[in-house]
Chains A and B, each alone.
Chain A
């Protein structure tokens, strides 16, 4: 009987460990981030992991709220000041490691965190907008519950998530979803093309993420 119990416990442990979700930032990478950005950075990533863990079982809206709230806590700073470049799309590890970035960096980090939480990538778009409030080009993450529904706007300048129709201060210019473009990018004969390309900045970002750029 005791043996049966032991086997049961062991098998449950085995199945759990098999199906347990990997952390958003793997241990090895987190060590590197800690080494580079010191202990506070590590704490930010640990806190992020806690929030993600807390909301992983919630619905899309709860996930959007949690991720938007967390990342909007990061300080805004232009790419020129942070990276010495006029425009740079930072990886989520660079963004949270440095704890600063511009509007695209918020969008990127939110996007990947939501993907980690299981939100369908088809529902998330990077949207170039014009902010009438700041009279400047801006980028927000948009969430389409269905392809034809009104999107929700995850804006770095706004802690709350609003439907697009409520954001009169924003004028949409262009939507894009890298993953959907990858899916569409096939050769004329229907064969897969040699290298994945969708959007220059997006392609660069994907490459940097693959290289675990921190």
Chain B
């Protein structure tokens, strides 16, 4: 229960208790007052009637008549006359006991009408004592009316009092709410500096303290951000041509070389500049650097139509142009244009074209190949090109023999999607240092029949090829939320969603509709992983996803992180629980780069996780870099607790 509610509750109880007590005291006072009034009335009657009775000279018939006249004309319950020996001489008693008030009230309130007495004498002689008791009917009516009035007025006071109290508390505790918001923001690793400093000393100290702390953490993040940007520039950019370098290409390639990659293949050109030594002798180093810049410009111009192209300087004389979704013919055309344009550049620098020239090896790759295969085939193509007359050579990846054709896959996939015959499987992400499972990664198996089950790596590539991957992800989300697997309860699971599916129009709205109905009843903690390529755009769509996930307590993770962004502000905005990268990325980072990354992630409470860790050697290298959380085959070799 919040402090506001506790204070409001206590003060409300206090207020109601005070009001009830005051109401009770008021009512009791009114009760006493009414009873006093009853007595005074009775006493007045007793005094005046006793004087009248004195004139009757002890004649009982006369005195009875006088008593009757008085009794009948006023509101009396009882009038009696007793003689000096306490013997009753005459009495009148009201026979009607009907009260004009609700029964509960007459049961609740006990009104005692006091008896007032007066001596009665006849001349010097005593006659006796006259007793008069007023009728309580009037008193009950008056008290009931008073009670109603009191209840109404006190109810109004209570309501008004509670409203005023609530408003006062809101005003008084407003700074506390701001402090609370700030504290919650700190817990979510958001940096909020509270500008309005509260007047109340205790709140002011807390706000100033938290502002100070948040400022320091923010400064830490900013420093890390600047440092990492600087390191990235040194690490991924060739300082002469401003092209990417070999390391960048190596770190980036896993995004394209995977079973569920959207791009199924393309062209990788390896380009070598021969005769650099001669050029240096003829032109000098500065001029040769200008030559390299002009050649780099040719590469940029010729590939500007390709969105995902990676142009990298591999070493002093070699370049690579990685063009996904580029067909071999198109690649050859580009290569020829590059060669032709480069010859103009050589002429510009008055270089001998037979000494200084470009050779281009083109390799048509498949997304299922690994980096080593891609680079070695590309190098081979380049070696072949150097011996060709036109210095261009195209090599193609061997066509793998497909067990099933596309049509067969389509039929199987459509059938499984229709029957929703997917099953979640999971493996652990483990902290090798603490030996604890951090979370579990969800994957899919596809069951075709009793004997045939395909793993994610087996069916996702054909699914991409036949354009059914989005349908599979849609089914997977439906299955996860609508019929959650009871085996997954009380754990944390992550689900990786690809760039293309998240970017597709309709995905966000579909997720929103799904979450609004099912997300709050999800029996496990879910982390949805989005690719760094999408996260680093920090677009409106990404922000929408973040807000959507937050609303339903779904956390965000980032995968395929290689830290290529120009600004890491998106990490602060998205505040993912972790970022996942290839082991090669982490291992190849220099000390400054990694510590800058750590500065950012530590200030935001983000874990670093290495994926696809296959062996203990890699794990040891990662641990040397202070990366302890890993996923991949190596987790089977780590004995976890519990």
Contact = CB atoms under 8 A, between A and B. Distances in A.
B85 A184 contact: no
Interface in B64-106: 77-78, 84-85
B117 A198 contact: yes
Nearest to A186: B115
A174 interface: yes
A180 interface: yes
Interface in B110-142: 112-119, 121, 123-126, 129, 131, 133
Contact of A188 (B78, B85, B117): B78
A184 B119 CA distance: 10
Contacts of B77: 188
Contact of A197 (B43, B54, B121, B125): B43
B121 A184 contact: no
A188 B126 contact: no
A172 B133 CA distance: 27
Contact of A181 (B112, B117, B124): B117
B115 A193 contact: yes
Interface string A161-204: 00011000000111111001100111111010110011000000
A109 B117 CA distance: 24
B35 interface: yes
Given A150-B124, A172-B124, A174-B121, A187 B116 contact: no
A185 B133 CA distance: 10
A175 B119 contact: yes
A188 B124 contact: no
A147 interface: yes
Contacts of B32: 194
Which range holds the interface residue count of chain A? Answer: 20 to 34
Contacts of A198: 117
Contact of B125 (A148, A181, A184): A148
B84 A148 contact: yes
Contacts of A194: 32, 35, 112, 114
Interface string B466-483: 000000000000000000
A88 interface: no
Contacts of A172: 121, 123-124
Contact of B50 (A142, A174, A177, A193): A174
B51 interface: yes
> Taking each of A164, A172, A184, A193, which has the highest tally of chain B beta carbons within 10 Å of its own beta carbon?
A184
B54 A181 contact: no
Contacts of B113: 187-188
Interface string B28-61: 0000100100010001000000110010000000
Contact of A125 (B51, B54, B117, B126): B126
A4 B577 CA distance: 105
B112 A193 contact: yes
A147 B126 contact: yes
Given A125-B126, A194-B35, A197-B43, A185 B54 contact: no
A116 interface: no
Contacts of B35: 194
Nearest to A185: B117
Which range holds the interface residue count of chain B? Answer: 20 to 34
Contacts of A148: 84, 125-126
B117 A184 contact: yes
A151 B309 CA distance: 137
Contacts of A45: none
A144 interface: yes
A180 B118 CA distance: 9
B121 A175 contact: yes
Contacts of A189: 112
Contact of B124 (A142, A176, A197): A142
B115 A181 contact: no
Contacts of A193: 39, 112, 114-115
Given A144-B126, A181-B117, A188 B54 contact: no
Interface string B510-551: 000000000000000000000000000000000000000000
Contact of A174 (B39, B43, B51, B115): B51
A135 B84 CA distance: 31
B75 to A, nearest CB: 14
Contacts of B115: 184-188, 193
> Taking each of B78, B124, B126, which has the highest tally of chain A beta carbons within 10 Å of its own beta carbon?
B124
Contact of B114 (A125, A144, A175, A185): A185
Nearest to A153: B124
Contacts of B126: 125, 144, 147-148, 175
Contact of B131 (A127, A142, A184): A184
Contacts of A173: 51, 54
A197 B51 CA distance: 18
A177 B118 CA distance: 9
A145 to B, nearest CB: 12
A197 B32 CA distance: 14
Nearest to B78: A188
Contact of B119 (A151, A180, A186, A197): A180
A156 B113 CA distance: 39
A130 to B, nearest CB: 12
A198 B121 CA distance: 16
A188 B116 contact: no
A142 B113 CA distance: 32
A186 B39 CA distance: 11
> Taking each of A172, A173, A187, A188, which has the highest tally of chain B beta carbons within 10 Å of its own beta carbon?
A188
A176 B118 CA distance: 7
B112 A187 contact: yes
A148 to B, nearest CB: 6
B138 to A, nearest CB: 15
B257 to A, nearest CB: 101
Contacts of B43: 197
Given A186-B115, A188-B114, 6 more contacts: A148-B84, A172-B124, A184-B117, A187-B133, A188-B115, A188-B133
Top 10 closest pairs, chain A to chain B, by CB = A147-B84, A184-B117, A164-B124, A175-B121, A193-B114, A188-B133, A176-B119, A187-B112, A181-B117, A172-B124
Interface of B: 32, 35, 39, 43, 50-51, 54, 77-78, 84-85, 112-119, 121, 123-126, 129, 131, 133
14 contacts: A125-B126, A147-B85, A150-B125, A151-B124, A164-B124, A173-B51, A174-B121, A181-B117, A187-B113, A187-B114, A189-B112, A194-B112, A197-B43, A197-B116
